[in-house]
Structure formats: C-alpha cells, structure tokens
Amino acid sequence: MTFEANMILPETLEYNGVLIDLENASEESLGRAISYLLSYGFGKSLQDSVAGRAKELRDAGETESAIAKTIREEMTDRAEAILAGTIGARGPRLVGPDAIRRDVTEEFFRAWVKDAAAKGQVLPSLKTTFGVSTKDATKEQKKAVADKIDALREKFAAARKDKIEAEVERRLALQSEDAGDDLDLDFGD
C-alpha cells in the first residue's frame, strides 16, 4: 500500500487524552499504524457484531455446530458491510456527559421495554414484525427491525429528555464528589 497526498486521514488520533500526530509521521510509521489499526479494528468489529450471541443461541437450545455456523454468517455479514461502507462510522468514543447520557438513555429504555413487554405490548422484533426467528431473518429484515428500534429509542429519549438530563446531572455530581476522594494533596515541604 502506498500513501498518496490525497488520502483522507485525520491529522491526529486522540483518545482519552492520548494523542498520536499522524500529520508528521513518516510513511513507514503511518503504514505500520494503519496496518495495525485495520487488523485490530476489523477483528474487534467482527467480535462486536456477535457479542453475546453464542450465549443467546445456547440458551435457545442451539447445537454448537449451529452456533458456530450462525456466528460465522453474522461475522461474514459484518465483513461485507465494512467493505461496502454501510457500517455507520460512530466517530470518537463518547466520554464524559455524552457517554453518561447514552448509558442513562439505554438503561431507561431497556427498563421501559421490559415493562412494556410485561404488560403485553407488542414491540418491534423479527418475530412480531416479520414472523421469523433471528437465524431465519434476512439482512434486510434485521436492518428494518433495528431501524424501528432506533426510531423508538429516539422517540423515547425525546419524551423523557428532562428525566434523562436530571439523571445525567446526578451522576456527574457523584463523579465530581468521588474524584476528590482520590486526590493526594500532600505536595511535601
């Protein structure tokens, strides 16, 4: 792989205060970094695409060979989506209030979904939307259900914005209080 002047790369990579200057890196260093990040990111993305699936399938009574086949198929779907560019780039990992807001929203949403299901409300799923199981669903059906759930989550978050923000503020305040406990203020004499 050669690097062209018109390749679109960020000037820096930054995560949690750690910074790598890509703009001033040698072509050789940049090549090694990109190679590592592509390999690691590819593997991590495939792992993420099936996180928890083996347990879910075991709990559903699937055989180990069926589980392996399903996981391989789902990883292949992810690999094809990566190459096609249909995997959404989420940008930098969320930190601080944004990460807390995402977590609070997800916790509240999951609790609401559990409560709604207990009350017999029909929520989007492959079974309720298309009458198929996960292993029998097409990529398009899976995406359609995921899109419905995302839309429902957004509507939920908008309707409960004040409660979500109050919980975010509460957690941030707790973090601030806890942060002071770990400080060593003995600077010596």
Say if residues 50 and 43 touch (Cβ distance below 8 Å): no
The answer on 120 and 77 residing in a single domain is: no
Classify residue 22: in a domain, yes or no.
Answer: yes
Residues 86 and 22 in one domain: yes
Distance CA 86, CA 4 (A): 24
Q: Given a cut of 70, is residue 7 above it in pLDDT?
A: no
Neighbours of 126 (CB within 10 A): 19
15 and 37 housed in the same domain? yes
Q: Does residue 2 fall inside a structural domain? A: no
64 within some domain: yes
Predicted confidence at residue 183, as pLDDT, reads 54
Helix axes 139-159, 96-118, angle to 10 degrees: 100
User: How many separate domains does the chain show?
Assistant: 2
**pLDDT for 120 beyond 80:** yes
138 and 169 housed in the same domain: yes
Q: Which domain holds residue 33?
A: 10-90
Q: Is the full-model pTM beyond 0.95?
A: no
Claim to verify: residue 99 and residue 177 sit in the same structural domain? yes
pLDDT-wise least confident of 23-27, 43-47, 159-163: 23-27
